[in-house]
Amino acid sequence: MKLFKSIILCGLGVAVLSLSSCDDMLTKNERTKFELGPEFWSNTNQVSSYSNVLYENFIGYGTGGGSGWFYFKSLSDDQVNPDFDNWMFTTVPGTSSYWSTPYTEIRRCNYMITGLQSSSLVESDKNHYLAVGRLNRAWQYYQLVRMYGDVNLIDEVVLDPEAQSDVVYGARVDRDQVMDYVLNDLNFAIQNLRSGGKNSWSKDMALAMKSDICLFEGTYCKYRTAEDNGKPADMTRAQRYLNECVDASQQLMNSGNYSLTANYGEVYNSLNLSGNKEVIFFRNYVKDQLMHSTADYTASSSQQRGISKDAVDAFLFLDGRPMATTSYNTSDHPVYNEANNAYSIENMLANRDKRLSVLLDPYLCFKGHGWVRSGSMYMTSSTGYNIAKYDNTAMEVDYRINTGKNYTDAPIFWLAVIYLNYGEAKAELGTITQADLDASINKLQARAGLPDMTLTPANDPANNMGVSNLLWEIRRTRRCELMADNWYRYWDLIRWHQLELLDTQRHPNINRGAYLRDVADLDEVFVLDENGYTIPITTVQRTFDKKYYLCPIPSNQITLSKGSTSQNPGWN
């Protein structure tokens, strides 16, 4: 039985009934009334069941409604939410699950780590489960640090928050110190986790997590500023973490365990990822037991958070050149298809990076001219560009177009991301060679039908990040490969110190959609710019402020800390 299937049963109250008191203890003030003793931590089945609950922290496509990390996390320059995505916070909240939930899980991990100290399990088993606890603690602290910067570092069991208020509401610790703590936990996990399958705790899963986290930390520390982030750039620290990213990525690339799938879309819309050679770790969904809504929101009547014109323009033409220098026809104007009563963009897609044809439907979808993908409902998009890559037409129609009924598996860590991490880290270090590009980025280029990238790519006039041509092209590859995936784009802009690219006034193309000027019977609700492209959001603008690099600390946390916790800069 797959591990995730056992987790599903756990959620249904079948597999780990013995954990109910444990979970209550971790979430209520009755913690002092109950304690799991050494006999619990000495039973492999019980410890395994306890650790399985931690899988819920790897969101994937989410459960039920729109809670996933694919498609739904649309605060970026790639998508336009018809309901408008403003900054994550615009005022200081009283409470926030972004702060409280990670600490709940950290308490769970600390309880497991402490409990195992008294375990009589054989050393290898004990270290494996200690590694599981520390791996998951690292994941939670990473989420906290990238959102809040300095955070409270808790490495002991909190049974009674009131009695241990000095621990729970203590002063925040410097974010660099916390990230070093994260790295230590990751390295312990890599050293002690056993090999395992694609949805079990394993050394390879920990290496993939380390690759992601160390790339974030290395680039964040390279590009941060004291004015915007509270700390100046630290090149020594950046180099250390980028080298850690390279090392973790190389171990996975050289393991022989993984290879790219021939078809880009298979990673996103498979009914079973267990045999997919590209996938390192995934979240398993099961028909009628644990399901999600990511496919439904891209195959039903709900208006989609469509892909922006800025994002479409990022995709290279098949000669490997961007819009400004390609020899191909650059027209993105749709052609009316009478048979389907829809506007086709097939001619545009035929000239571009093959990933764009997987990402988008071949017909524009907008009010008055929706599109019905095989078996789907009549669909519309905020921008006209409709996302298709998460849908699987092999699923029964009822399971594709209803909320909480999709059962395609979600990738969490996969080889394409490792290739991207490796190539970018090497480029940031200044040590990249053509052989490095060929072993990583160019494998993705080939799958996308594009020529190989070289160390000296031509200048693209669209480069607005102030980086070298090579880094610009590597970042472009990452954007196109991971569009709408796993909340990557927002955090990429944070770590590159490019968050101002989400300002809709400074960068109007992120609030533009398809060319619609030639549509004969365009609904009067559409507003077009001077060039004929739709403007999806006309009532509000998103204006950048440097304070958005860090989220505000919830006010109740500051109150309860009795002065030991301060607010992040700019949030009053």
Collect all residues with Cβ–Cβ distance below 8 Å to 105 and sequence separation of at least 6.
54, 57, 136, 137, 140
Kindly indicate the confidence band of residue 163, based on its pLDDT and cuts at 50, 70 and 90. low
Tell me the CA distances in angstroms from 287 to 291, 398, 419, one per residue in order.
Answer: 7, 12, 32
Of 460, 413, 439, the C-alpha closest to 315 is: 460
Residues 244/425, Cβ–Cβ less than 8 Å: no
Q: Which DSSP letter does residue 23 get? A: H
- Confidence check: pLDDT of 32 > 50: no
Contacts of range 492-499, beta carbons closer than 8 Å, 24 or more positions apart: 493/76, 493/77, 494/146, 494/220, 494/549, 495/215, 495/216, 495/219, 495/220, 495/223, 496/219, 496/223, 496/465, 497/223, 497/224, 497/225, 497/228, 497/229, 497/549, 498/465, 499/544, 499/548, 499/549
Q: How confident is the model over 39-84, as pLDDT tens digits?
A: 999 999 999 999 999 999 999 999 988 889 999 999 999 999 999 9
| Stretch 519-523: mean pLDDT | 76
- Rounded Cα distance between 397 and 206, Å, is 37
Mean of the per-residue pLDDT values for the chain? Answer: 92
Give this prediction's pTM.
0.94
Angle at 467 between CA 463 and CA 470, to 5 degrees: 85
- Rounded Cα distance between 186 and 131, Å, is 8
| Stretch 537-566: mean pLDDT | 93
- How many other β-carbons are positioned within 10 Å of the β-carbon of residue 325? 13
Q: How confident is the model over 202-242, as pLDDT tens digits?
A: 999 999 999 999 999 999 999 999 999 999 999 999 999 99
Residues 64/292, Cβ–Cβ less than 8 Å: yes
One DSSP character per residue, 110-132 reads HHHHHHGGG--S-HHHHHHHHHH
Q: What pLDDT shows up at residue 37?
A: 85
- Confidence check: pLDDT of 373 > 50: yes
Residues 8/290, Cβ–Cβ less than 8 Å: yes
Q: Which DSSP letter does residue 365 get? A: -
- Confidence check: pLDDT of 529 > 80: yes
Q: What pLDDT shows up at residue 429?
A: 98
Q: Which DSSP letter does residue 298 get? A: G
The more confidently predicted of residues 340 and 240 is 240
For 129, counting Cβ atoms within 10 Å of its Cβ (0-12 exposed, 13-18 middle, 19+ buried), the class is buried
- Rounded Cα distance between 252 and 195, Å, is 12
Q: What pLDDT shows up at residue 519?
A: 86
- Rounded Cα distance between 360 and 180, Å, is 40
Q: How confident is the model over 274-321, as pLDDT tens digits?
A: 999 999 999 999 999 999 999 999 998 889 999 999 999 999 999 999
- How many other β-carbons are positioned within 10 Å of the β-carbon of residue 262? 8
Q: What pLDDT shows up at residue 455?
A: 98
- Rounded Cα distance between 540 and 80, Å, is 13
Q: Which DSSP letter does residue 390 get? A: T
Q: What pLDDT shows up at residue 165?
A: 75
What percent of the chain stands above pLDDT 70? Answer: 94
- Confidence check: pLDDT of 447 > 60: yes
Residues 396/525, Cβ–Cβ less than 8 Å: no
Kindly indicate the confidence band of residue 35, based on its pLDDT and cuts at 50, 70 and 90. low
Residues 444/419, Cβ–Cβ less than 8 Å: yes
- Rounded Cα distance between 276 and 303, Å, is 32
- Rounded Cα distance between 290 and 360, Å, is 27
